[in-house]
Amino acid sequence: MEHWNQTLFLLLNAAPGASGIAVEVARLLADGLIWIVPMGMVFGWLRGSAATRHALVAATASGLAGLLINQLIGLVWNHPRPFVAGIGQTLMAHVPDSSFPSDHLTLIWAVAFSLLLHEQPRVAGWALALLGLPVAWARIYLGVHFPLDMLGAALVAFGSAWLILGEEHRFVAPLVQAMQRTYRWAFAGLIEKGWVRQ
């Protein structure tokens, strides 16, 4: 497995003397695209229906659960990053913590898979799932992750989304109700003007 992991990494990792434009695009994909997740969450809450807001809170919980699971995995099994192992080219600064699984991809795909498990907004779930692919490629290309880290992220993301789905009745629904009350109080003026949804 590790041989396959390193071989595929070397195929996807940037070659020596890689184009500066390609590297800059990869850096944007690796660290920039993830900001679409919180921005989309805020927009979805402000303009979405009650069902959409419920799905967004569940998706947020799934993302946080996925990141927590990653931390626990890192404590049990510290897998070195490519630059720590002295493999390939490293074109982006990163702390030398455990590479497995990828936190960036876990967050994106946990949110995506959670949204896909709800009727609304499923289209956003598909969009985020596809968004994760260039992020995964970029982080391998820049030398901070192995392909196996992305596979691990997919498994953790799906597991956390499924776990939260089974527990939604316990905490997601009450949390949404509390958030709705606070939101309607804090945004009363904007709601009255019709700028955001009640």
Express each pLDDT in 104-114 by its tens digit. 999 999 999 99
For 153-180, the DSSP string reads: HHHHHHHHHHHHHHHHHHHHHHHHHHHH
Express each pLDDT in 43-64 by its tens digit. 999 998 999 999 999 999 999 9
| CA atoms of 9 and 147, how far apart (whole Å) | 6
pLDDT of residue 117: 95
Instruction: Read off φ and ψ for residue 79, nearest 5 degrees.
Output: -90, 120
Q: Collapse the DSSP code of 60 into the 3-class scheme (helix H, G, I; strand E, B; otherwise coil) and give the result.
A: helix
Instruction: Read off φ and ψ for residue 20, nearest 5 degrees.
Output: -60, -35
**What would the mean pLDDT of 159-176 be, rounded to a whole number?**
92
**What would the mean pLDDT of 73-102 be, rounded to a whole number?**
92
DSSP secondary structure code for residue 101 in this structure:
S
* Total Cβ atoms within 10 A of residue 23: 17
Structural domains of the chain, ranges and CATH numbers in brackets: 2-184 (1.20.144)
